[in-house]
Amino acid sequence: MIKKVVSLILILFLIGAGVVFYVNTKISKETPKTTRSNPVESEVQVPDNTDELLANIISNAKAGKIDGKTNITVGKTTMTDITKEFGTPDQEESIAQGTFLTYSNPAFAIGTKHAGSIFEARSYDSRLNQIHFESILETLKKPTSTKYYKDQNVDQIILDYRLSKTYELKFILARPTNENPNPSLHHTAVLLINGNNPSGNNTNVSSNIDNLLNEMSLNEKIGQMILSGFYGPTYSGDLKNLIQQYKIGGFIFYSENLKDKNQTVKLINSMKSANGSNSLPILFGVDQEGGRISRLPEKLGNIPTNEQIGKRNNSNFSYEIGQILGEQLKIFGFNTDFAPVLDINSNPNNPVIGDRSFGNNASIVSKLGIKTMEGIQSERIIPVVKHFPGHGDTGVDSHLDLPVVNKTYNDLKHLELIPFENAIQQKADAVMIAHILLPKIDSKFPSSMSKNVITNILRNDLHYSGVVMTDDMTMAAIEKHYDLPNAAVKSIQAGSDIIMVAHDPNKVRAVFKAIQAAVQNGKISEDRINQSVKRIILLKQKYKIDNNKVPNISTQKVVEKTNKLLKK
């Protein structure tokens, strides 16, 4: 009897399993496959009018509009038109791109610069939440680019579709997760292509970069990947040798190299003349952060520390500080500023960052740091944001020894990386890598020599495609623990584009020869060298770096501008 019951149960189970298999097979054939990992989310019903909504969004965006109701055309509608039709905005905010005005009825926002035409319009129409991440991808396929934005309040994915030579359409949603793989649309944005670029010149890059690379010798390429220091305030035989024989692509200046404006301009002009026959112009860089890290000589006005700027927490003020820093550098003949500092000063006992940081709040550091970066860019000076992946929680000065930070990648993502990730989304041009050992990420090599940090995190995870530059490799953090020439090779293997070797020309030459040998013996491919040099060429072309002589310009106006700003 028991055997019969067991047999009957087994038969019923097999019949039931067959029915379930048939039903599941039938459903899988009739339902488009999606990559959902959450069974609850997979039951979301996409409204029937999603296709129509998307079609309207796309159609309007091609004409520079966010919808058919507000009658705003990006690039044509002016602030006068907006004020006349919609009155005073409900909210006004200054961020990296410009000033954004938000209206609640209808729900939209517009971005403008100097009360001129509109460079961006955003729609917050409540119907947009009927559209989901997967339906956008199914309708529009692969986006032109995918970006991310994160602060302490939001974690977003931005799908960017270039619709024409004029307009981009962006879909902004919560970043998909295992718990919510198919988030709803939060808002859309229509932008003028390059309308958010303050310098307005980032598309005017030469189409002959590959030809230029092919014409350059290996030695010329290696020279471009070194940023050198030197001794003294005068043009010397060492400098001539570095420029004409080693084809060094950039130089960092310290206080010992800078006595006054006339001397600095004369020195830079001499270096430009020596570089006249080389393929590419030189990067002339200096640490001009404001506060105690201000290398330029003469009394140029007391730029406050970033800590003081952070306490003030005014975006426009930060932008104007950036502009002044850019103006100062331009007058002296520089084209690169190793600033702003994006480190979050989370450790009050930090011996090297301190008041160089905008504060201990990721949102404030992001906002003010990016505005300073934008201000520097507006003067056609290259800003180098630093010190990736974050030097704010160190207890050791990397000038003196190698700091160790026992944080996981997840720890960094929730604090230190936030300002850098946001700066990258706002088109940061150059990132400086710190000398920090992070044992939970790379137990063997510091960040400036770590493939996990430079390639896996910065390049792959944060989608950064610009120039990566090391902090000075002659600092004790490196030289005390590693052989300098070998460390430079390891840094390039890890993903660095420019190796900074400050102070000593002999060390510069040793690093050059080590890189040269590494290419010759196959440790570094020439294709890898070409990748870095191409980024460097693009950067120099974007900012129109050249060999033209620096004119003799008075500092009086920038001093007056600085004093006027500080009185506000």
Catalytic residues: 399, 471
Instruction: State which amino acid sits at residue 468.
Output: V
> From the centroid of its chain, how far is CA 285?
19
In whole angstroms, give the CA distance from residue 204 to residue 218: 26
Query: Crossing angle for the helix pair 484-494 and 505-520, nearest 10 degrees?
Result: 50
Distance (Å, whole) CA 180 – CA 3:
48
d(Cα 221, Cα 76) in Å, to the nearest integer?
44
Q: Which amino acid is at 449?
A: M
What the block records as the tokens of 197 is 């670029």
CA angle 81, 53, 169 (to 5 degrees): 60
Six-digit token string for 82: 């907006």
In Å, what is the CA distance from 73 to each residue of 190, 487, 498? 9, 53, 42
Element (H, E) at 564: helix 556-566
Q: What does residue 48 show for φ and ψ, rounded to 5 degrees?
A: -65, -25
Calpha distance 157→174 (Å, rounded): 6
Among 405, 394, 414, 413, CA closest to 348: 394
Helices (H) and strands (E) counted in the chain, each on its own, are 19, 18
- CA-based end-to-end distance of the chain: 96
- Helix, strand or coil, per DSSP, at residue 91: strand
Provide the token pair at 336. 């690169």
- Sequence-distant (6+) residues with CB within 8 A of 156 are 148, 149, 150, 172, 173, 174, 175, 186
Contact 474, 499 (CB under 8 A): no
Looking only at the bridges linking them, the beta strands covering 185-192 and 118-123 are: antiparallel
CA 318 distance to own-chain centroid:
18
Beta-sheet strand order (sheet of 118-123): 91-94, 99-104, 107-112, 118-123, 185-192, 167-174, 155-162, 145-150
Q: 210: part of which helix (H) or strand (E)?
A: helix 209-215
- Please give the distance of CA 453 from its chain centroid, rounded to a whole number: 15
Within 10 angstroms of residue 48's Cβ, the number of other Cβ atoms is 8
87 dihedral zone (left: phi>0; alpha: psi -120 to 50; beta): left
Distance from C-alpha of 323 to C-alpha of 377, rounded to nearest angstrom: 8
In 443-483, which ranges are continuous DSSP H helix?
451, 476-479
